[in-house]
Amino acid sequence: MNKEFAELKNDLIIRAARGERTERTPVWVMRQAGRYLQEFRQFRQKHDFFEICRTPELAAEVTLMPIRRFDLDAAIIFSDILVIPQALGMEVQMVASVGPVLPKPLVIPQNINDFLKQDIDVEKELSYVMEAITLTRHKLEGKVPLIGFSGAPFTLMGYMIEGGGSKTLSKTKKWLYEYPEESVRLLKLLTDVVIKYLVSQVKAGAQLLQVFESSAGFLGPKLFNQFSLPFIQQISSSVKQSLTDLNLPTVPMIIFVKDCHFAIESLSHSQYDVIGIDWTIEPSRGRQLAGQSVTLQGNLDPCALYADSQQIEGLVKDMIESFGTNRYIANLGHGIYPDVNPDNLAVFVNAVHKYSQNTDI
Ligand code: CP3
């Protein structure tokens, strides 16, 4: 597919990620293309979840749904973090009102060899994601940048061992204590795939990259430093190095971590341009931990969108005042919930526009 794209008309998020001053704070929302949108639910009645992921025209259409409705400053490619375990040979089902199910999870380290293809051609196995990205870039016509993403190794390992979501991640953490070396082997295998996957996404047209370490909070500081941090650090440094070697643009990278205030300081010394944080931390404390040389993203409680418009406006105003308009990208602290009224998302987005104008530039 042709990769000559239209000129970008709105680069607020890219400039904020790089620490440049912006006329106002950019805003997007995790899971902005999802079930809270009636048009998405209708689409899902006709198409299976992974059918959408695997069909570039369908994935592009869903990616654009929230962009058509709201004044968002970025699109995120419609896909899922679990396409990586699939590419490695694991079956993943998306079960209604349950979530993802991997019927044959990894139980013992020997399963790494038994169940997983060891040396996959990432660009080939996940070519449908790259095609969806290229097609979506064309369809966006430069309106806003397109974010590519991947799950981080530990979060992926969690789904591969638990066989789905989990309240404790105890099976996965049992591996960390019982089989630390084999756990590292699995994490390294995943890291290698994630690096290739993200570089391919940029080749295909992704303009920013977000890495989701959504399960980091289960680890606590010690396990995080051992089983998450080294791998997410390697991802940012290797992706950036590969992009430079390939003469590709070095796109801003965002790391999203959940429930781990303890990680913010170390992450601020890594090569990520942006740290995405959840709502359990005061913005000012987040800034204190992160220092001045990284952009923060977040962090309104997704449940705040159940409040009335006036309350939402007030919460957004407070949030922007405490983060400040410099080095800041507005977002929720985690994905939007399926039963949120989309009108309330509009209130959120419009309030960011209203309260974050920088009149001095
Ligand atoms: O943000 C976007 O709009 C882009 C698309 C996107 C999806 N999943 C679509 C999706 C992104 C970025 C993801 C990431 C993802 N997937 C994460 C990391 C972010 C996070 O929430 O922590 C994780 C852990 C997954 C795995 C996953 N996929 C879960 C746990 C679930 C079930 C929970 C839920 O919200 O239902 C999914 C399903 C999923 N992924 C849906 C969507 C729109 C809903 C399923 C459906 O349509 O039936």
Residue 31 has what pLDDT?
A: 98
Quick one: tokens of 143? 């309106």
**pLDDT band at 122; cut points 50, 70, 90:** very high
pLDDT in tens, 49-81: 999 999 999 999 999 999 999 999 999 999 999
Q: Is the pLDDT of residue 1 over 90?
A: no
The predicted structure's pLDDT at residue 358: 87
Q: Which atom of ligand 1 is nearest to the CA of 151?
A: 18
Reported confidence tier of residue 116, pLDDT bands at 50, 70, 90: very high
- 67 lies in some domain: yes
pLDDT digits (tens, 9 = 90+) for 147-185: 999 999 999 999 999 999 999 999 999 999 999 999 999
- Let me know if residue 2 belongs to a domain: no
Q: Domain range for residue 115?
A: 12-355
Residue nearest ligand 1's atom 9 by CA: 80
CB within 8 Å of 193: residues ≥ 6 apart:
84, 87, 88, 120, 122
Q: How far apart are CA 267 and CA 211, in angstroms?
A: 12
Nearest-10 crossing angle of helices 153-162, 170-178: 110
Residue 337 is predicted with a pLDDT of: 98
Position 145 in a domain: yes
Going 336 to 308 to 339 to 170, the CA torsion angle's sign is: positive
Residue 248 in any domain: the answer is: yes
Q: What is the pLDDT of residue 86?
A: 98
Q: Is the confidence at residue 208, as pLDDT, over 80?
A: yes
The response to whether residue 49 sits with its C-beta less than 6 Å from ligand 1 reads yes
**CA–CA separation, 71 and 202 (whole Å):** 24
- Residue 99: CB atoms within 10 A of its CB come to 11
Under 8 Å CB-to-CB from 224, ≥6 apart: which residues? 216, 260, 262, 263
Token pair 């590419």: residue: 87
Cα separation, 313 vs 345, whole angstroms: 11
**Which of 195, 273, 242, 255 has the alpha carbon at shortest distance from 13?**
273
**Is the pLDDT confidence value at 272 over 90?**
yes
Q: What is the mean pLDDT of residues 228-233?
A: 98
Tell me if 278 sits within 8 A of 258, measured CB to CB: yes
pLDDT at site 359: 77
What are 78-97's pLDDT values in tens digits? 999 999 999 999 999 999 99
Per-residue pLDDT at 63 = 98
- To the question of pTM greater than 0.85 for the whole model, the response is yes
Residue-level pLDDT at 94: 96
The values of phi and psi at residue 213, to 5°, are -105, 65
The total number of structural domains in the chain stands at: 1
Ligand 1 site-directed mutation target among 80, 198, 340, most atoms within 8 Å of CB: 80
Buried b (16+ CB within 10 A) or exposed e, 197-226: bbbbbbbbbbbbbbbbbbbbbbbeeebbee
Mean pLDDT of the chain: 97
Sequence-ordered list of residues with C-beta below 8 angstroms from that of 134, at least 6 positions apart, any chain:
1, 3, 56, 204, 205
- Is 343 within a domain? yes
Ligand 1 atom 4: residue of nearest CA? 78
CATH code at 180? 3.20.20.210
Q: Is the minimum distance from the CB of 33 to ligand 1 under 6 angstroms? A: yes
Percent of the chain with pLDDT over 90: 98
Does the pLDDT value for residue 361 go beyond 80? no
Examine residue 275 and state whether it is found in any structural domain, yes or no.
yes
* Residue 147 Cα to ligand 1 middle (Å): 15
- Residue 108, by phi and psi: left (phi above 0), alpha (psi -120 to 50) or beta? beta
The catalytic residue positions are 31, 35, 44, 80, 159
Q: What percent of the chain has pLDDT over 70?
A: 100
Give, using CA atoms, the residue closest to atom 46 of ligand 1. 49
Q: Is residue 276 part of a domain?
A: yes
Tell whether 1 is covered by a domain.
Answer: no
Per the CB < 8 A criterion, the answer to whether 150 and 212 are in contact is yes
Q: Measured from the CA of 96, which atom of ligand 1 is nearest?
A: 48
Q: Which of the 8 DSSP states describes residue 200?
A: H
| pLDDT over threshold 90, residue 360 | no
Q: Ligand 1: does its nearest atom lie under 6 Å from the Cβ of 138?
A: no
Query: Average pLDDT, stretch 118-144?
Result: 97
